[in-house]
């Protein structure tokens, strides 16, 4: 039974590594955009650090989303919960709300097509 | 890159940290021989957060992108303020506290 649990843990660890790699890759792409935009260079270590920070921030985001959904007695995380994450910054909230409306309206269009 | 779609990545990233999801996952792995992958317990047993809606996944992907761009842009600005054209850990460390307070 312990072996099974260990195998589960190993699987979990592999998934974590894979996700970290995915985050690192995307962060690299985004940093490249900023490099071109601002005419600076990012050291490898600084990109790795941003990835690690982002990965850890995900934990905070996930736990908040979970609590927000439960607070609303829902079992599914919705865009409303994501909007709550962005509540601290006015401009961020505005941006996220706008994106959310775009998503909602593109969903409507797709439904109409069907 | 041999990875998941952005939406899938976000979904898995979030699920990795959902407290209730994780306890369910390990429990199933320990007690269920022959079952592949983490299994989910019946939803009726305890009504907890089970899923992330598709729009919410896309919106989270957007929020995470904003987070990364902010981190990168602030560190870049810090480097330029110090007359450097290479951003290193030091510059990132300087902008980190405010970044985390803003999110």
Q: Are B59 and B12 in contact (CB under 8 A)?
A: no
**Encoding tokens for residue B70?**
């902010």
ipTM of the complex: 0.89
Predicted local confidence at residue A66, as pLDDT: 93
Residue of B nearest to A62 (CA): B14
**CA–CA separation, B60 vs A85, rounded Å?**
10
- Contacting residues of A for B55, CB less than 8 Å apart: 78-79, 100, 103-104, 107
User: Where on the phi/psi map is residue B69: left (φ > 0), alpha (ψ -120 to 50), or beta?
Assistant: alpha
pLDDT tens per residue across all 114 residues of chain A: 677 778 888 888 888 999 999 999 999 999 999 999 999 999 999 999 999 999 999 999 999 999 999 999 998 999 999 999 999 889 999 999 999 999 999 888 888 877
Predicted local confidence at residue A64, as pLDDT: 94
Per-residue pLDDT of B47-92, as tens digits, reads 566 789 999 999 999 999 999 999 999 999 999 999 999 999 999 9
| B72 contacts chain A (CB < 8 A) | yes
Q: Which residues pair with B52 in a beta bridge?
A: A77
User: Where on the phi/psi map is residue A72: left (φ > 0), alpha (ψ -120 to 50), or beta?
Assistant: alpha
**CA–CA separation, A13 vs A17, rounded Å?**
6
| B39 contacts chain A (CB < 8 A) | no
In 3D space, the residue among A14, A11, A67, A20 whose CA is nearest the CA of residue B28 turns out to be A11
The SS3 call for residue A29 is helix
Per-residue pLDDT of A81-93, as tens digits, reads 999 999 988 999 9
| B35 contacts chain A (CB < 8 A) | no
Q: Which residues pair with A76 in a beta bridge?
A: B51
In 3D space, the residue among A62, A102, A97 whose CA is nearest the CA of residue A80 turns out to be A97
Residue of B nearest to A48 (CA): B89
Per-residue pLDDT of B44-56, as tens digits, reads 445 566 789 999 9
| A21 contacts chain B (CB < 8 A) | yes
A83 or B34: whose pLDDT is higher?
Answer: A83
**Encoding tokens for residue B23?**
């306890």
pLDDT range class, residue B28, cuts 50, 70, 90: very low
| Radius of gyration of the CA atoms of chain B, in A | 19
CA distances from B55 to A8, A64, A80, B60, B80 (A): 30, 17, 10, 8, 37
The SS3 call for residue A88 is coil
Per this entry, what is the length of chain A?
Answer: 114
């Amino acid at each position: 039974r312990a072996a099974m649990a260990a195998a589960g843990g190993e699987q979990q660890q592999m998934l974590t590594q894979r996700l970290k790699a995915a985050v690192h890759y995307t962060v690299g792409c985004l940093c490249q955009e900023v490099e071109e935009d601002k005419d600076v260079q990012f050291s490898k270590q600084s990109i790795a650090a941003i990835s690690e920070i982002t990965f850890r921030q995900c934990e905070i985001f996930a736990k908040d989303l979970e609590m927000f959904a439960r607070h609303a007695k829902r079992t599914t995380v919705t865009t409303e919960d994501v909007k709550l994450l962005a509540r601290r910054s006015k401009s961020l909230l505005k941006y996220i709300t706008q994106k959310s409306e775009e998503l909602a309206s593109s969903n409507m269009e797709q439904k109409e097509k069907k | 890159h041999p990875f998941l779609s952005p939406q899938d990545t976000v979904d898995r990233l979030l699920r990795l940290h959902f407290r209730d999801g994780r306890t369910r996952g390990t429990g199933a792995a320990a007690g269920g021989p022959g079952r592949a992958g983490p299994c989910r317990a019946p939803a009726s047993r305890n009504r907890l957060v089970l899923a992330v809606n598709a729009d919410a996944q896309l919106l989270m992907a957007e929020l995470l992108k904003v987070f990364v761009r902010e981190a990168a842009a602030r560190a870049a600005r810090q480097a330029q303020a110090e007359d450097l054209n290479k951003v290193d850990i030091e510059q990132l460390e300087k902008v980190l506290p405010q970044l985390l307070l803003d999110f």
